[in-house]
Structure 1
Amino acid sequence: MTTPGHPSPAQVPPSRDRVYRSPMGITGGVLLLGIVLWLGIDALVQGDGRTPWLALASLILVVPGVAAFTLRPAVFADEDRLRIRNPFRVVALPWGQVASLRSGYSNEVLAKSGAKYQLWAIPVSLRARKKAARRSARAEAERSGRGGRGAGLGLGFGGLGGGGEIDGPARAETDKVMDDLRELLVTREKEESAQGDVAVRWAYEVIGPVVAGAVLLIILLVVG
């Protein structure tokens, strides 16, 4: 029985995935694919002898490989699980199976079984971390400087030049994403709906064309 004005469980919409991808990876992948396709199609149309066949084998090998490492990676998170789509695997981890989320030179999720999975879609940028640290230090220095002058002169300089204020320490974007995922882990890991087994699926739709292209290219090179 439901109370008036409150939806029944069947009426409550399922939670939507939070999707995390690398904008730089996607941009680089699109540009690289454009160059590869331009050169490959030109060789197919204009090439002589074995050139079109070599171009075809190269396209079959390179295009899925480039797409796998640039366009494909993504991380999906909802209230029940974390799903990681890496170049050649898809891993689904209920929050109850996640031991920790770690950030070092790469962002990783550690399962309670001891297995470790890298988050390709959330790459670490040491440059972005250094930039965020400098911005945070500069804002702190500005706050300290304004506070000192205001206290010495008895003037309210705190309301001037507010553009340098930062709400909390500055963080690189990927570190903020990892913070969001850790918060979701803490709030959901003990929920009944967030329990289950880890599922790993190999992306044969990517592996198949890459292997086929590699085999065809090797045969063409060996036959001469």
Structure 2
Amino acid sequence: MIIHGWARNAPSLTLPENVGFHVGRNTPYKYVVVNIHYLSILKNDYSGNQLIMTRKPLTYHAGVMLGGSGRIYLQPKTNSIRTPFSCQYNGPPISIFAVRVHAHQWGRVNSLYRVRKGEISQIVKGDPQWPQSFYPLASPVDIQNNDYVMGQCVYDNTEDRVVTVGSTHRDEMCNVYSMYSYDSTIQSSNRKTMNSPPIQMCWDNAFSSIAR
């Protein structure tokens, strides 16, 4: 589970009061691993993250839902190429309070929406070329059982070659990370998912009829 991401000199993030990521004993997460990726070689670099740990149980646990798609195929010299994704949420209520969008150099805008009983509500619409971090929403957005989540990434490919999905700066990505909180006293009936976040992925376009 990704618990944070930061790039391009973005501002820091402080979690809401009484919200934290549940790690360690009785959870699937026994370690916290920090990865730092560089585009060029640096000397005397002191990059890192400050983590505050506590043994005190918190009222709300935090999770991160990764929304996006691997179906990226950007035709040469083409603008406004859409890559949609969608899923249906099944679980206890969650409250999205911060969002991070991510794409590479061809990304222009990433967006995420909630669909409830046919009504569409925007969660975020962000420029992946801005400094990348989890930005707090003006107001948290709740997701309830049977809601749909949909989004899209839009690209402009100015090159003479096809660009596809990949992890390097010559490839593209379509990611929208949603950080949310949920009531830790509501346990899953499935022992395999107990103490795990309610949702971790909303990937590809499972419900293309609503995300066209």
Structure 2 length-normalised TM: 0.22
Structure with greater strand share of residues: 2
Structure index of larger Rg: 1
Select the structure that is richer in helix.
Answer: 1
Give the structure-1-normalised TM-score: 0.21
